[in-house]
Structure 1
Amino acid sequence: MRIIVAGGKTGGHIFPALSIIKELRKIKGNISVFFIGSGSKIERMLLEGEPVVYEKINVYPIMGMGLKAIKSFLYLPLSLFDALEKVKRIKPDCILGMGGYSSGPVIIAGWLRGVPTFIHEQNYVPGFTNRILKFFVRKVFYSFRESGRFFGRKGIYTGNPVREEFFEVRGEVSDYFTILIFGGSQGSSILNSSFVRTLPMISEKIDNLRIFHSTGEADYEKVLEEYKRYNFVWEVKPFFNNMWDYFAKADLIVSRAGASTIFEILSSGKASILVPFAKSAGSHQLRNAMELKKKGVAEVILEKELSEVKLASKILELFQDRKKLKEMGERAKDLVERDASLRIAQSILKEIKENV
């Protein structure tokens, strides 16, 4: 069996894809996987060592790009031609789009060549690309139960694929109050800078403070210098490998609200403070975060309202109310489907059984 997986640009698309690929291999054995992405550095880093063939497609984003979107539209025919060449050469049994603009031309190229196509929608409200691609696929797998209204009979509720290690997270027994902060696989400058400014306030009130801070590459040196002024226990890195190990140590997580991030938090049974990215396409991070707040598993601070005082106040409130912190974490696990990757793998194989 040969499969093309399209998507990327962030770990939020890549990690769920790898979880689905893992389940497909459990069922079908040695399958050939071709991952087609945008050619970004983060894609290459996260896929390094994975048993997939990585290829780049020349495509550019449209949503949120202003005048640059004109160039992206003009480039679409070339992107489609590039995708058609790849699909013709690879001869896949199916194509799975994981979201992001790089999946668009690949899914349409597969549809034009009669290849069974599928997409996965991670967010509470579908993004621009998937709202178009739903007309070119056999099935749409979606993560939030409430999102089914967007997809009609093509939709299949599966939950969001999460790496198994996050479900195995067990809280560390420790004397520390531990905060894990990260802004997604690429980091967040506004979250980094705001959190660093909370350090004098929270370190004064929390004697047993411990912080793990994943900064992204761009802010690493600057943030590291700030931490060197403090004597509490901390670890600062551009990116944490085996992130589930840090989830296990955390009492509270402060992060953005990308779909993969929030489902990893939920799967781990952790309380969180979410700061949704204000410029996310279609405000999908805001909608993801507000859904979690409504269900009582996360606190939310809007980016336009973010300040060191407000963030420190939220952190200290949860530090002082351990009962609420624990209840948030316990409710979180009820909102995830542990077998999401398996459901998607089985659905794909059921749809293409005549072709495999």
Structure 2
Amino acid sequence: MKYVIVACGSGGHMLPGVFLGRYLQSRRHKILFVCSNKRLDVKILKRESFLIRRLNTSGSSIGLLKKIRQIFKWGESLIRSFFFLKRFRPFAIIGLGGASMGLISISAWILKIPVVIVENNSTPGGVNLVVGKYSASAVFSLNIENFIFFSSNFIYLHGSSFLQRNFIENTLTNLSIVGGSQGSGFFNFIMPIVASRTNLRDIKIMHQVGKGQYVRIRESYDVLGCPADLKAFISNLLKEYARTLIMVSRAGASSIFELMLLNRYFILIPMLTSKDSHQVLNSCSLQKDKKCFIFSQTRVHLKQLVSRINLSENISRLNKCMYKDFP
């Protein structure tokens, strides 16, 4: 079968779409991935084997002339999406959010192609909220109270279980520190100090530091005498996260998706500047199910964070033994 996956604009949309595309490809389905022209989208997809189409879907512009120009660009992208969907003729369109989904959904409605919405946040994004009213089905990662916004009769709570078996490895050795595409600055400031004060056993540290920060953070770890594997960008998240025993992370859509795949205890520090405070809401939703521990960025205490990481190691090792003894 043929599927179109639509995601753009942020790692929270793109990375779950890539995971889903790889999963469907492994089942011999043909994938067309629709994204934007943003640099992040291009970087994430450059190593993938999907068919790729890019649409000009930049946000609202300031000034009358720029707004008029943007409307024409949207119109051009809408026409392009209509014709490549007509040629590709997918069985379904899977949308994970982003402005591209708005244009694709109009073309899908004209061509009578069913649309499936995948929402990994506890609060649906604006595009998913609108498109969801007309979608054939909706899929959620979190057990949220916003199902009422979706008119579909077919709503599923998947909890990322369709990919979990790919993440159970015998070697769980990492303390992984991931700030995401926009929230790594705070982690870069405090986590070298925190990591150097933990008393973890046989644990390796993997820290995603973000673009242009490698040299400075490398010096911080070296001064503190704490060995760490630093990465500006993680190209193979599946492989890296499969080794994770303890995770310290933000709470964006992609982080939630990935952490639910791990099915282990983790620590979240939500980014306070996230749109509509969705990271705080995501964290609270997971904490209700006792799947994480939350620290507020404005009130985080280093001793408490170190203690929680040490405790998380014991919890994660216990979970690992449970997986081993009770498959």
TM-score with structure 2 length normalisation? 0.81
* Counterpart secondary structure, 1:119: strand
The counterpart of 1:134, out of the listed 132, 135, 149, is: 132
* Counterpart secondary structure, 2:207: strand
Residue 13 of structure 1 is matched in structure 2 by 13
The size of the alignment, in residue pairs, is 319
Q: 2: distance between equivalents of 1:269 and 1:11?
A: 20
Q: 1: distance between equivalents of 2:176 and 2:12?
A: 18
Q: 2: distance between equivalents of 1:311 and 1:249?
A: 25
Q: What whole-Å deviation, never above 9, does each CA across 1:158-204 have from its counterpart, x for those lacking one? A: 42547847743335376xxx52101125662122223234355x15x
Residue 85 of structure 1 is matched in structure 2 by 80
Unaligned stretches of 5+ in structure 2?
none
Q: Residue 180 of structure 1 aligns to which amino acid in structure 2?
A: S
Q: 1: distance between equivalents of 2:192 and 2:212?
A: 15
How far is 1:261 from its partner?
1.6
Coordinate RMSD, CA, aligned? 3.5
2:216 aligned with 1:222: yes
Unaligned stretches of 5+ in structure 1?
333-356
Q: 1:80 to 1:108 in 2, by over 3 A?
A: farther
Contact 1:171/1:250 (<8 A) preserved? no
2:182 aligned with 1:191: no
Q: 1:12 to 1:116 in 2, by over 3 A?
A: same
Q: 2: distance between equivalents of 1:123 and 1:315?
A: 28
TM-score with structure 1 length normalisation? 0.75
More moved, 323-332 vs 3-12:
323-332
Contact 1:211/1:233 (<8 A) preserved? yes
More moved, 272-281 vs 110-119:
110-119
Q: 1:11 to 1:163 in 2, by over 3 A?
A: farther
Q: What whole-Å deviation, never above 9, does each CA across 1:60-86 have from its counterpart, x for those lacking one? A: 236xx9x79x96797355314312223
Q: 1:320 to 1:59 in 2, by over 3 A?
A: closer
The counterpart of 1:287, out of the listed 281, 299, 312, is: 281
Runs of 4 or more above 4 Å deviation: 22-27, 70-74, 160-163, 205-209, 320-332
Residue 117 of structure 2 is matched in structure 1 by 119
Residue 319 of structure 1 is matched in structure 2 by 310
How far is 1:213 from its partner?
0.5
Residue 342 of structure 1 is matched in structure 2 by none
Q: Residue 137 of structure 1 aligns to which amino acid in structure 2?
A: S
Q: 1:303 to 1:115 in 2, by over 3 A?
A: same
Residue 148 of structure 1 is matched in structure 2 by 147
Q: 1: distance between equivalents of 2:84 and 2:263?
A: 44
* Counterpart secondary structure, 1:20: helix
2:166 aligned with 1:170: no
How far is 1:254 from its partner?
0.7
Higher relative contact order (CA 8 A, sep 6+): 1
